[in-house]
Amino acid sequence: MMLLKNLCDASGVSGHEEEVRALIAASLPDCETHVDIMGNLLCEKRGNGPKILFAAHMDEVGLLISGVDENGFLQFKIVGGINTDVLLGKKVYIGEKKIPGIVGVCAVHLQKKEARKSAVLPEDMYIDIGAANREEALSVVSLGDFAVFPPNFTQFGDNLVEAKAIDDRAGCALMIRLLHEKYDAHICCAFTAQEEVGTRGAQAAAEFFRPEYAVILESTFCSDIFPTEPQDFVTTLGKGIALPFMDRTSTPDKYLVSSLVLTAQTHNIPYQRKRSGRGGTDAGVISRAVEGIPTAILALPCRNLHSPSSVLCLDDYENTWKLLDAWLRTSAPSLIRR
Amino acid sequence: MRTLLETLSIAPGVSGHEEGAADIFSALLTPYCEEIHRDALGNVIALGRGFDKNKKTIMIEAHTDKIGLMVRHITKDGFLLVTPIGGFDTKLLPATSVRIFGRRVLHGVICAIPPHIAHSDKAPEMETLCIDTGLSREKLSDIVRVGDVAEFETEFTNLQAHMVAASAMDDRAGLAVLASVMKTLSKEVLPVNVVAVASTQEEVGLRGAGVAAYTVNPYAAICIDVCHGKTPDANRNTFTMGGGPVITVGPNVQKCVSNALIRAAKANDIPYQIDVDSGDTGTDAWAVQVVRRGIYTGLLSLPLRYMHSGYEVLDVTDAEKTAALLCAFLRAFGGDEL
């Protein structure tokens, strides 16, 4: 649990994955590691079985400071996909010094009638760090600094966790656990960079390893909340890992997916089908890398994805671990060699 | 002042449920007051030291309550549907952590639809927002009942220089000023009796302060509340952060009182700003002024950014300057000037 907490609470907006990468590197067992040009952290534990690449991304959505006005308010651009309605009134930490700031919005009392009913555009938002003017702001913040949501890992309810960056630190945590085990398969793990800005890191990782198969450990949206109707839930929290069959970037390999499903069924591990074709993952570029790599996706359902308060069910997390472990012990060794 | 602000900011107290904050305020004032009591509406009435029935009584007042949410329904899946208590900007609510005051305090998250599923150019409607407690309806029903309240769960945060960000600075900043004034004046012999009042239910229609004013029956009353600080999206009817207390002029206050406040500020080199308000100031001053046969009333406001959000930004020096002005006014008060 501490591993997951520390990973979620660490800062790593796309292109600034250093802190997360250092934390992961410090949590790894003895294995071959390499940091590539894209910033991916690549780890390998050789075995005699099929060469399987696991991938989870280190980066998270966030903000990039793009300007400072004369009164010391910061302008920003959004890195990755964030609905602006989760930004307003939230605290963020800016830069490596983690300067606290508040995403400001004109008080409701002063808003005109139409403004009260409309979403605020990102270009109309600003961050208030309490600086008196531009000069004071620039003494602690620089253009190009990234801003992240502050650490807030909290356990609540029936084994749920609220945190920022569950997407995809949960996947990273699972991969670290996996590297601590011993399997017959030749295990390659890619902690990838820049997934949230267009799955930029994963291609280089796939090229480096040239695996026979790839399994992406991701977090996916879960809309099983009021007032969504069940047909629009996409995934349901607490009902196990979700398997996509087609999404915006990839078509998971049928043979690999059925191997995973069979393992889940044999070991009575809950899983669910992802009921949507939306969303994209590192599977897109990895499945098309080298000469084509059969790829599957295991996606953890996550409420309020891409917000400061995403919600994960720890039962889903543990069951995913059980599935991965069981699959690597029983089914993976007998995958057809390519 | 910073410590006072923090202590008061984190105290619970949605309108009608002010007991927690009222207890803390009473405890802060106990060493400096002759007598403290709580009336039928929950107002805290604290008599300063050395009460003399031959002296005129001045009431200094701020409100205890903060805005919040009230549970109106628990869905079959265990989500809490809520209705606002006080003025809310629904744009601030998605992906926000809250504390729910049921039979015990519960952690909850207000749900947000991720950008992958929906992007709306409209502000969310209160009717479609729900709180996720991570519990089933069955378990939840034992803890939370319809009518229970919830409030923002944010941290007191020090920004640059003198600025702090915290929830309910409206009007815990006012309470902090009162606590500071009562402490300072407890060692002095004053020309007047001072009674500090922490009123209830301001945010739902100024319901407490008038009743307290009736009981105290003061010759004059000075209310302390917040006004809007300047932000990039609000230039008109906003005030300079750090510019000192804002003295209201207009029909809601007697001119002789605002003039006395201005004189006290000038005589003591305390910077101040003027708010010209043409009618209802929306503060307890509106209720207090017409109590019994009328009460001489003044209003001091502290500039505050992002009023009614989870992170309201205040300049601590404005609270200090307001306390200094109030002390100066009370020390100089002869009664004949009104």
Partner-chain contact A162 B94, CB within 8 Å: no
The pLDDT, as a whole number, for residue B120 is 76
Per-residue confidence in pLDDT tens, chain A, 338 aa = 899 999 999 999 999 999 999 999 999 999 999 999 999 999 999 999 999 999 999 999 999 999 999 999 999 999 998 988 899 999 999 999 999 999 998 999 999 998 899 889 888 999 999 999 999 999 999 999 999 999 999 999 999 999 999 999 999 999 999 999 999 999 999 999 999 999 999 999 999 999 999 999 999 999 999 999 899 899 999 999 999 999 999 999 999 999 999 999 999 999 999 998 888 999 999 999 999 999 999 999 999 999 999 999 999 999 999 999 999 999 999 999 98
> CB within 8 A of B145, min separation 6: which ones?
B71, B102
Look-up: residue for tokens 């929906």? B118
User: Any chain A CB within 8 A of the CB of B108?
Assistant: yes
**Which residue of A104, A129, A224 is in closest CB contact with B306?**
A104
How close does chain B come to A185, measured CA to CA in Å?
35
User: Any chain A CB within 8 A of the CB of B76?
Assistant: no
CA dihedral A190, A191, A193, A198 (to 10 degrees): 70
Alpha helices in chain A (DSSP H): 2-9, 18-27, 113-117, 134-138, 166-179, 202-209, 254-266, 283-287, 314-326
Angle between helices B2-9 and B316-332 (to 10 degrees): 100
pLDDT tens digits, B221-258: 999 999 999 999 998 899 999 999 999 999 999 999 99
Q: Which two tokens stand for residue A55?
A: 């991938």
C-alpha–C-alpha distance, residues B9 and B226, integer Å: 14
- The helix (H) or strand (E) run that includes residue A34 is strand A32-35
pLDDT tens digits, B67-100: 999 999 999 999 999 999 999 999 999 999 999 9
Region B163-187: mean pLDDT is 97
Interface of A with B in 263-322 (CB under 8 A): 278-279, 303-311
Is residue B245 within 8 Å of residue B300, measured between CB atoms?
A: yes
- Identify all chain A residues contacting B307, using CB atoms and an 8 Å cutoff: 107-109
Look-up: residue for tokens 């208030």? A128
The C-alpha angle with vertex B10 and arms to B9 and B15, in degrees rounded to 5, equals 75
Partner-chain contact A128 B309, CB within 8 Å: no
The pLDDT, as a whole number, for residue A317 is 98
C-alpha–C-alpha distance, residues A174 and A185, integer Å: 17
**For residue A315, how far is the Cα from the chain centroid?**
18
User: How do beta strands B296-305 and B220-228 pair?
Assistant: parallel
Look at residue B260 and give its three-state secondary structure: helix
Is residue B175 within 8 Å of residue B321, measured between CB atoms?
A: no
Single out the residue of A326, A53, A327, A304 nearest to residue A162, CA to CA.
A304
User: Any chain A CB within 8 A of the CB of B311?
Assistant: yes
User: Any chain B CB within 8 A of the CB of A140?
Assistant: yes
Partner-chain contact A279 B116, CB within 8 Å: yes
Is residue B58 within 8 Å of residue B220, measured between CB atoms?
A: yes
Interface of B with A in 257-286 (CB under 8 A): 282
Q: Which two tokens stand for residue A248?
A: 């915006």
Closest chain B residue by Cα to residue A71: B232
- Identify all chain A residues contacting B67, using CB atoms and an 8 Å cutoff: none
DSSP secondary structure letters along A145-195 = -EEEPPP--EEETTTEEEES-HHHHHHHHHHHHHHTS--SSEEEEEEES--
**For residue A155, how far is the Cα from the chain centroid?**
19
Q: If you count residue pairs, one on A and one on B, with CB atoms under 8 Å apart, how many are there?
A: 219
As annotated, the active-site residues of B are 202
How close does chain B come to A45, measured CA to CA in Å?
35
Interface of A with B in 231-270 (CB under 8 A): 232, 234
Please list the residues that pair with B134 across neighbouring strands: none
**Structure pTM?**
0.91
Query: Maximum CA pair distance of chain A?
Result: 68
The pLDDT, as a whole number, for residue A322 is 98
As annotated, the active-site residues of A are 195
User: Any chain B CB within 8 A of the CB of A127?
Assistant: no
**For residue A112, how far is the Cα from the chain centroid?**
37
**Gyration radius (Cα) of chain A, Å:** 21
Partner-chain contact A152 B139, CB within 8 Å: no
The pLDDT, as a whole number, for residue A126 is 97
C-alpha–C-alpha distance, residues B241 and A130, integer Å: 9
pLDDT tens digits, B269-316: 999 999 999 999 999 999 999 999 999 999 999 999 999 999 999 999
Q: How many helices (H) and strands (E) does chain B have?
A: 8, 17
Partner-chain contact B113 A83, CB within 8 Å: yes
C-alpha–C-alpha distance, residues B183 and B180, integer Å: 5
Q: Can you state the percent helix, strand and coil of chain A, rounding each to 5?
A: 30, 25, 45
Which of B73, B77, B91 to mutate: most A Cβ within 10 Å? B91
Q: Which two tokens stand for residue A177?
A: 């656990």
**Which residue of B81, B122, B309 is in closest CB contact with A226?**
B81
The pLDDT, as a whole number, for residue A84 is 83
User: Any chain A CB within 8 A of the CB of B17?
Assistant: no
Torsion-angle region of B89 (φ positive above 0: left; ψ -120 to 50: alpha; else: beta): beta
Partner-chain contact A83 B230, CB within 8 Å: no
Single out the residue of A60, A53, A25 nearest to residue A194, CA to CA.
A60
C-alpha–C-alpha distance, residues B208 and A260, integer Å: 63
User: Any chain B CB within 8 A of the CB of A67?
Assistant: no
- Write down the mean pLDDT value for chain B: 95
**Which residue of B97, B106, B165 is in closest CB contact with A152?**
B97
Which of A68, A123, A225 to mutate: most B Cβ within 10 Å? A225
pLDDT tens digits, B197-217: 999 999 999 999 999 999 999
Is residue A302 within 8 Å of residue A167, measured between CB atoms?
A: yes
Single out the residue of B152, B196, B200, B154 nearest to residue B39, CA to CA.
B200
A168 cis-preceded (ω within 30 degrees of 0): yes
Look-up: residue for tokens 């150019």? B121
C-alpha–C-alpha distance, residues A132 and A135, integer Å: 8
The pLDDT, as a whole number, for residue A83 is 84
User: Any chain B CB within 8 A of the CB of A59?
Assistant: no
The pLDDT, as a whole number, for residue B118 is 67
Region B132-153: mean pLDDT is 96
B148 cis-preceded (ω within 30 degrees of 0): no
The pLDDT, as a whole number, for residue B60 is 98
The pLDDT, as a whole number, for residue B50 is 87
Q: Which two tokens stand for residue B210?
A: 């008038």
Partner-chain contact A73 B232, CB within 8 Å: yes
- Identify all chain A residues contacting B87, using CB atoms and an 8 Å cutoff: 108-109
A29 cis-preceded (ω within 30 degrees of 0): no
Closest chain A residue by Cα to residue B313: A130
- The helix (H) or strand (E) run that includes residue A242 is strand A241-243
> CB within 8 A of A249, min separation 6: which ones?
A199, A280, A281, A283, A284, A285
Partner-chain contact B107 A154, CB within 8 Å: yes
- Identify all chain B residues contacting A232, using CB atoms and an 8 Å cutoff: 117
User: Any chain A CB within 8 A of the CB of B234?
Assistant: yes
C-alpha–C-alpha distance, residues A100 and B242, integer Å: 19
Single out the residue of A7, A16, A118, A128 nearest to residue A62, CA to CA.
A16
C-alpha–C-alpha distance, residues A6 and B33, integer Å: 47
Single out the residue of B17, B13, B33 nearest to residue B178, CA to CA.
B33
Amino acid at A155: Q
Which of A73, A74, A88 to mutate: most B Cβ within 10 Å? A88
Look-up: residue for tokens 């690449």? A53
Q: Residue A134, CB half-sphere, CA atoms under 13 Å: how many? A: 8
Strand blocks (E) in B189-329: 193-199, 220-228, 246-249, 273-276, 296-305, 312-315
The pLDDT, as a whole number, for residue B337 is 65
> CB within 8 A of A34, min separation 6: which ones?
A41, A42, A43, A208
Partner-chain contact A140 B122, CB within 8 Å: no
The pLDDT, as a whole number, for residue A273 is 95
